Structure 1
Amino acid sequence: MTSKGMKTHQAAAAIPQFTSKDYFSFFLAGALCCTITHGAMTPVDVVKTRIQIDPAYKKLNMLTGTRYVIATEGPRALLTGFGPTAVGYLIQGGAKFAGYEYWKKKAVESVGGPEAAVKYRTAIYLGSASIAEFFADILLTPLEATRIRLVSDRTYATGLVTGFTRIAREGGIRELYAGFLPILCKQIPYAIGQFTVNELCHEIVFRSISEETRRTLSSTSKFAIQLGSGVIAGFAAAILSQPADTLLSQINKGHGPKGSMPHRLAVLAREAGFRGLFAGLGPRMIMTAGLVSGQFLLYGAIKEALGAPPGVEIHKETGAVV
């Protein structure tokens, strides 16, 4: 074998060859970490959505909004939409995390191996997150439409099944997927912030320590790095996706003019203005920081429990895929 051929062989060998069992583990870990965290954040999301679309909540913050919900509707109202949230993010989370692992590996292979992957790592993060999220959102959109309808209209239905079937009966597939474009506009920037910023945060940390220190990191240090990176990634995901999140709530509430979805989004964005598009950002940043950091911590722990291999890493500090 020539030196060139050996180099190519070594580069290819450095890329893990995931099996279908590995991808199932990635899917299960992603599904569980997302449904647990999103389900736990349901009360925060209820208040956030009300602040976005209900005039009575416009001047309230997370704390006062929570008190207002309890005072006017009772504590159980804070769990409105729990069913579609749990089910929706179970399937969306699995598809997103497994898809990110799949497309990142494919991207590394397509650019020619580890060395080229390091050079194009940011583009790989962006592309892998976007493609994975696109397919995951096909599964999420009908359930997200149901969740927002339940939260925004307390009399619409009693839960997931009745809400979903009513939307399907009255509006069909078109109504269930009315929010697909705004969901893409929301979730793809969200995924970009979540995965790309998390990867870059880890890289910054690892480049500041020696390889020996990295290998001997304590469990506490690893936890702190994962938590800190996840919180920063959560802030980025919230900021990037906030305008589309506001528009999605408006669309599923039935607001806006008739016409194509791009036209409706443009009109609603113009009416809301910059300040209106970022209404509820504070509570959502808190929620998203908890979601993203919790998801990465749970994802890693569940993968380890399942015996799944680590994902593809292309951090510059090692110059290799491991």
Structure 2
Amino acid sequence: MQSLFPTQKTLDHTFAGCSPFPQRHPEPQSKRPSKWLARHELYPTWSAADDAKNKAAKLSDAAVAEFEKASSKAQGKTGKIELYSPKYYAACTFGGILACGLTHTAVTPLDLVKCRRQVDSKMYKGNFEAWGKIARAEGFRGIYTGWGPTFWGYSVQGGFKYGGYEFFKKFYGDLVGEDNFHKYKTLVYLTASASAEFIADVGLCPFEAVKVRMQTTIPPFAKTTLGGINYITGKEGFGGLYKGLYPLWGRQIPYTMMKFASFETAVEMIYNYLPGKKDDYGKAAQTAVSFTGGYIAGILCAIVSHPADVMVSKLNANRQPGEGFGAATGRIYKEIGFMGLWNGLPVRIVMIGTLTGLQWMIYDYFKIYMGFPTTGGVAPPEEKAKA
């Protein structure tokens, strides 16, 4: 039976604003916040953090969208590039130029201190003291002494190294066959990287000679890369640019073999540890794996190649005119001893670890940009069940 009197809701609606007392109506139970939930209005920092996260997510989405747009545009211009085609190797070569040229140039201040401490271990006690002394004596530009030959030399080397590795890995993989490749893949990685680095060092050597002399002579013997090349060839002939080639091979080939083989192994181990397969992960996750694998590989590279790196610096800085390679190596070893071969190792571990991690990240990011799969981490094919 309906009530003869109006309900409270009807009275409130009719006389709204006439009562001096505020009208409060309980919210439905479904809309009431739980007493166990914190009240956001009491925690402005919490709200600010949430806003920052939301903004970061929006920026990330926008960056991904711009990347996809630029990637599609680049792929539209180049056309579809088939894997292992000449265009593919050319693209990988360009990716190697970007990866090595930019990163080595960025760490020139570290490389400068490393080279000077290898030549004279008592020159500086630490990096910051070294940079302070160099800046006071030579200005801020002095901290980047040798950046020119570093950029040109490692751009050339990076192109041949990464592009050559892709070529030789496919070449040796085809020679041994698919089944044997997965059995002896580490040997294929080592052989391919050694072959690529052997060629790459021929392009790097002249620039490395100029860089080391520029960094270890105070004041620098030349101000520009071309000036350094002209100075060396004028005094020692063209061969003066290549007198450090043998120790450079001795440093770079083991370094690159460790760099590529350990990277491939580390990336495979990471994907095996993670749930799912490599293809289940997005671009950002795959490049993060590339950086991690590259950093691990860089630490191993630095340790393996450091004695030869010290010898390269010593030979380029202190080799006497007309002195043979064997005689110069023996003389330097007598001067510094076995422990002297490890001067500057901590600095080089930091430098090479960071370098290698960034190189693999840049290189694989470029491969994604061009529509190629990232390097490493592909599981071997499943064995067919026996009948």
Tell me the TM-score normalized by structure 1: 0.87
State yes or no: 1:182 paired with 2:247: yes
**Cα distance between partner residues in 1 of 2:355 and 2:119:** 22
Contact in 1 for aligned 2:268/2:376 (Cα 8 Å) = no
**Cα distance between partner residues in 1 of 2:122 and 2:339:** 17
State yes or no: 1:40 paired with 2:109: no
Match of 1:54 in 2: 120
How far off its partner does 1:232 sit?
Answer: 0.8
Q: Deviations over 1:278-319 (max 9, x none)?
A: 101111111111110111111111222234x3377585x424
Would you tell me which structure has more helix in proportion to its own residues?
1
Match of 2:46 in 1: none
Match of 2:331 in 1: 267
Match of 2:286 in 1: 222
Match of 2:91 in 1: 25
Match of 1:318 in 2: 380
User: Percent identity of the aligned residues?
Assistant: 32
State yes or no: 1:250 paired with 2:294: no
Gaps of 5+ in 1: 1-15
Return the letter of the residue paired with 1:44. Answer: L
**Cα distance between partner residues in 2 of 1:31 and 1:187:** 17
Cα distance change, pair 231–87 in 1 and its aligned pair in 2 (3 A) = same
Contact in 2 for aligned 1:122/1:196 (Cα 8 Å) = yes
Contact in 1 for aligned 2:258/2:301 (Cα 8 Å) = yes
Contact in 1 for aligned 2:290/2:361 (Cα 8 Å) = yes
Match of 2:196 in 1: 132
Return the letter of the residue paired with 1:20. Answer: P
Match of 1:152 in 2: 216
Q: Which of residues 136, 147, 167 in structure 1 aligns to 2:232?
A: 167
Contact in 1 for aligned 2:293/2:357 (Cα 8 Å) = yes
Contact in 1 for aligned 2:135/2:143 (Cα 8 Å) = yes
Q: Deviations over 1:211-260 (max 9, x none)?
A: x3433224453233222111111111111111111111111112469643
Cα distance change, pair 205–155 in 1 and its aligned pair in 2 (3 A) = closer
- Residues matched between the structures, number: 300
Cα distance change, pair 68–56 in 1 and its aligned pair in 2 (3 A) = farther
Contact in 1 for aligned 2:150/2:207 (Cα 8 Å) = yes
Contact in 2 for aligned 1:51/1:65 (Cα 8 Å) = no
Match of 2:79 in 1: none
**Cα distance between partner residues in 2 of 1:115 and 1:267:** 49
Contact in 1 for aligned 2:254/2:305 (Cα 8 Å) = yes
Tell me the TM-score normalized by structure 2: 0.73
**Cα distance between partner residues in 2 of 1:224 and 1:306:** 18
Cα distance change, pair 136–61 in 1 and its aligned pair in 2 (3 A) = same
Cα distance change, pair 285–51 in 1 and its aligned pair in 2 (3 A) = same
RMSD: 2.0
Cα distance change, pair 313–282 in 1 and its aligned pair in 2 (3 A) = closer
Cα distance change, pair 76–164 in 1 and its aligned pair in 2 (3 A) = same
Q: Which of residues 106, 127, 140 in structure 2 aligns to 1:75?
A: 140
Gaps of 5+ in 2: 1-81, 383-387
Deviates more, 1:59-68 or 1:42-51: 59-68
**Cα distance between partner residues in 2 of 1:22 and 1:251:** 38
Return the letter of the residue paired with 2:380. Answer: T
